[in-house]
Structure 1
Amino acid sequence: MAETKKVKTRDEIAEKDKWDIGKIYASVELWEEDFKKLKNEAVQLKEYIGKLSDPNKLLEYLKLSEKISRAADKLFIYAHLKYDEDTTNTIYQGLKDKIDTYLSELKSYEAFFVPEILSLPDGTIESALDQNPDLKLYEFMLKDILKAKPHILSKAEEELLASVSDCLEAPHNIYSMLTNADMTFPVIKDEDGYEIELTEVNYGKFIRSRDRRVREEAFKALFGTYEKYKNTLSASLTSSLKNFIFNSKIRKYSSALESSLKPNDIPLEVYNNAIETMNKNLSALHRYVSIKKRLLGLDEIHMYDLYVPLVEIEKQHIEFDDAVAMVKEGLKPLGSEYLSIFDEGINSGWIDKYENKGKRGGAYSWGSYDTMPYVLLNYNYELNDVSTLAHEMGHSIHSYYSRKTQPFIYADYTLFCAEVASTTNEALLINHLIKNEQDEKKRFYLINQELEQIRTTVFRQLMFAEFEKITHESIEAGNPLTSEDFCRIWHDLNVKYFGPEMVVDKEIDMEWSRIPHFYSDFYVYQYATGYAAASSFARAILQEGESAVTRYTEFLKAGGSDYPINILKKAGVDMTTPKPLEDTVRRFEELLDMMENY
Structure 2
Amino acid sequence: MVQQLTREQVPIEETWNLEDLFPNPEAWEVERESILRDLGALEQLRGTLRQGVSQVLRVLLLADELDQRVSKLYAYALLARDQDTRDTAAAERYERAVYVGTLAGRASAWIAPELLATYDDTALLEMVKHEPGLAPFRRFLERLVRERPHVRSAEVEELLAETAPLAHAPSTAFTLLDNADIRYGTVTDVDGSTVELTKGRYQLLLERRDRRVRQQAYEVFNAPYIAHRHTLAALLSAANQRDAFYARARRYDSALHAALHPDNIPVEVYTTLIALVRQHADLLQRYLALRKRVLGLERLRTFDLYVPLVERPERSYTYQEARELVLEALRPLGADYVEPLRAGLANRWVDVHETVGKRSGGYSLGVYGVHPYILLNWNGTLREVFTLAHELGHAMHSYFSSRTQPHPTAEYTIFVAEVASTFNERLLTHALLETTTDPRERAALVNDALDTFRIALYRQTLFAEFELLTHQAVERGEGLSADGLCTLYGRLISEYYGPDLELDDEVRHEWSRVPHFYRAFYVYQYATGLVAATALARAVLEGDEVARQRYLAFLAAGSSKDSLELLRDAGVDLTTAEPYRAAFATMEQDLATLESALVELGMVR
- The TM tier, using the shorter chain, reads 0.7 to 0.9
User: Corresponding residue for 1:309?
Assistant: 308
- CA RMSD in angstroms comes to 5.1
Maintained 8 Å contact 1:10/1:86: no
User: Corresponding residue for 1:45?
Assistant: 42
Alpha-carbon distance in structure 2 between the residues aligned to 1:546 and 1:35: 46
User: Corresponding residue for 2:601?
Assistant: none
Query: Using a 3 Å threshold, how does the CA distance of structure 1 residues 507 and 385 change in structure 2: closer, same or farther?
Result: closer
User: Corresponding residue for 1:330?
Assistant: 329
DSSP 3-state at the match of 1:48: coil
553-562 or 249-258, which deviates more:
249-258
Alpha-carbon distance in structure 1 between the residues aligned to 2:20 and 2:187: 52
Maintained 8 Å contact 1:342/1:397: yes
The Cα offsets for residues 315-338 of structure 1, whole Å up to 9 and x where unpaired, read as 535566644442233122223432
Consecutive unaligned residues of structure 2, counting only runs of 5 or more, are 599-605
Shift of 1:426: 1.8
Say yes or no: does 1:417 pair with 2:416: yes
Shift of 1:293: 1.0
Amino acid at match of 1:53: R
Amino acid at match of 1:296: L
553-562 or 383-392, which deviates more:
383-392
Alpha-carbon distance in structure 2 between the residues aligned to 1:354 and 1:444: 29
Within-5 A mapping of 1:52-451: 52-54=49-51, 55-70=53-68, 106-120=104-118, 122-123=120-121, 125-126=124-125, 128-129=127-128, 131-154=130-153, 208-213=207-212, 215-216=214-215, 241=240, 244-245=243-244, 247-316=246-315, 318=317, 322-346=321-345, 349=347, 351-352=349-350, 364-373=363-372, 375=374, 383-451=382-450
Alpha-carbon distance in structure 2 between the residues aligned to 1:388 and 1:91: 30
User: Corresponding residue for 1:585?
Assistant: 584
Shift of 1:47: 3.4
Query: Using a 3 Å threshold, how does the CA distance of structure 1 residues 572 and 114 change in structure 2: closer, same or farther?
Result: same
Shift of 1:434: 2.3
Within-5 A mapping of 1:560-571: 560-571=559-570
Amino acid at match of 2:424: N
Maintained 8 Å contact 2:200/2:354: no
Amino acid at match of 1:48: L
Amino acid at match of 2:455: T
Query: Using a 3 Å threshold, how does the CA distance of structure 1 residues 104 and 358 change in structure 2: closer, same or farther?
Result: farther
Shift of 1:57: 0.8
The Cα offsets for residues 55-108 of structure 1, whole Å up to 9 and x where unpaired, read as 211111223334444556567767877998999999999999997776665555
Alpha-carbon distance in structure 2 between the residues aligned to 1:82 and 1:508: 33
Report the identity percentage. 35
Amino acid at match of 1:332: R
User: Corresponding residue for 2:547?
Assistant: 548
Q: Count residues in correspondence.
A: 594
Alpha-carbon distance in structure 1 between the residues aligned to 2:185 and 2:91: 39
Maintained 8 Å contact 1:234/1:513: yes
Query: Using a 3 Å threshold, how does the CA distance of structure 1 residues 377 and 163 change in structure 2: closer, same or farther?
Result: closer
Alpha-carbon distance in structure 1 between the residues aligned to 2:128 and 2:448: 52
Amino acid at match of 2:462: M
The Cα offsets for residues 203-225 of structure 1, whole Å up to 9 and x where unpaired, read as 65665553435555666787798
Query: Using a 3 Å threshold, how does the CA distance of structure 1 residues 563 and 82 change in structure 2: closer, same or farther?
Result: same
DSSP 3-state at the match of 1:307: coil
Alpha-carbon distance in structure 2 between the residues aligned to 1:440 and 1:156: 66
Query: Using a 3 Å threshold, how does the CA distance of structure 1 residues 249 and 359 change in structure 2: closer, same or farther?
Result: closer
Shift of 1:280: 2.1
The Cα offsets for residues 112-163 of structure 1, whole Å up to 9 and x where unpaired, read as 3334334435345346456535434422212313433312345565667677
366-375 or 175-184, which deviates more:
175-184
169-178 or 581-590, which deviates more:
169-178
Query: Using a 3 Å threshold, how does the CA distance of structure 1 residues 126 and 378 change in structure 2: closer, same or farther?
Result: closer
Alpha-carbon distance in structure 1 between the residues aligned to 2:456 and 2:235: 26
Maintained 8 Å contact 1:351/1:377: no
User: Corresponding residue for 2:572?
Assistant: 573
Alpha-carbon distance in structure 1 between the residues aligned to 2:25 and 2:392: 28
Maintained 8 Å contact 1:273/1:577: no
Alpha-carbon distance in structure 1 between the residues aligned to 2:207 and 2:18: 40
DSSP 3-state at the match of 1:535: helix
420-429 or 537-546, which deviates more:
537-546
154-163 or 557-566, which deviates more:
154-163
Alpha-carbon distance in structure 1 between the residues aligned to 2:356 and 2:221: 33
The Cα offsets for residues 566-587 of structure 1, whole Å up to 9 and x where unpaired, read as 2112211212122333333333
User: Corresponding residue for 2:492?
Assistant: 493
Alpha-carbon distance in structure 1 between the residues aligned to 2:33 and 2:512: 48
Alpha-carbon distance in structure 1 between the residues aligned to 2:232 and 2:354: 40
User: Corresponding residue for 1:463?
Assistant: 462
Amino acid at match of 2:57: L
Maintained 8 Å contact 1:7/1:355: no
Query: Using a 3 Å threshold, how does the CA distance of structure 1 residues 253 and 111 change in structure 2: closer, same or farther?
Result: closer
Maintained 8 Å contact 2:128/2:138: yes
DSSP 3-state at the match of 1:269: helix
Shift of 1:240: 5.5
The Cα offsets for residues 417-436 of structure 1, whole Å up to 9 and x where unpaired, read as 22221221121012210232
Consecutive unaligned residues of structure 1, counting only runs of 5 or more, are none
DSSP 3-state at the match of 1:463: helix
Shift of 1:307: 3.0
Maintained 8 Å contact 2:57/2:133: yes
The Cα offsets for residues 163-185 of structure 1, whole Å up to 9 and x where unpaired, read as 77777888778988998999999
Instruction: Give the TM-score taking structure 2 as reference length.
Output: 0.78
Query: Using a 3 Å threshold, how does the CA distance of structure 1 residues 274 and 150 change in structure 2: closer, same or farther?
Result: same
Maintained 8 Å contact 1:457/1:528: yes
Query: Using a 3 Å threshold, how does the CA distance of structure 1 residues 316 and 33 change in structure 2: closer, same or farther?
Result: same
Alpha-carbon distance in structure 2 between the residues aligned to 1:356 and 1:161: 38
Query: Using a 3 Å threshold, how does the CA distance of structure 1 residues 460 and 155 change in structure 2: closer, same or farther?
Result: same
363-372 or 453-462, which deviates more:
363-372
DSSP 3-state at the match of 1:447: helix
Maintained 8 Å contact 1:45/1:61: yes
Amino acid at match of 1:110: S
Query: Using a 3 Å threshold, how does the CA distance of structure 1 residues 173 and 558 change in structure 2: closer, same or farther?
Result: closer
Shift of 1:528: 1.5
Query: Using a 3 Å threshold, how does the CA distance of structure 1 residues 209 and 561 change in structure 2: closer, same or farther?
Result: same
Shift of 1:368: 3.2
386-395 or 534-543, which deviates more:
386-395
Alpha-carbon distance in structure 2 between the residues aligned to 1:531 and 1:319: 27
Shift of 1:468: 3.1
Alpha-carbon distance in structure 2 between the residues aligned to 1:217 and 1:428: 35
The Cα offsets for residues 5-38 of structure 1, whole Å up to 9 and x where unpaired, read as 9979599757xx7878887789999999988987
Shift of 1:460: 0.7
Alpha-carbon distance in structure 2 between the residues aligned to 1:235 and 1:89: 26
Alpha-carbon distance in structure 1 between the residues aligned to 2:81 and 2:230: 43
Shift of 1:289: 0.7
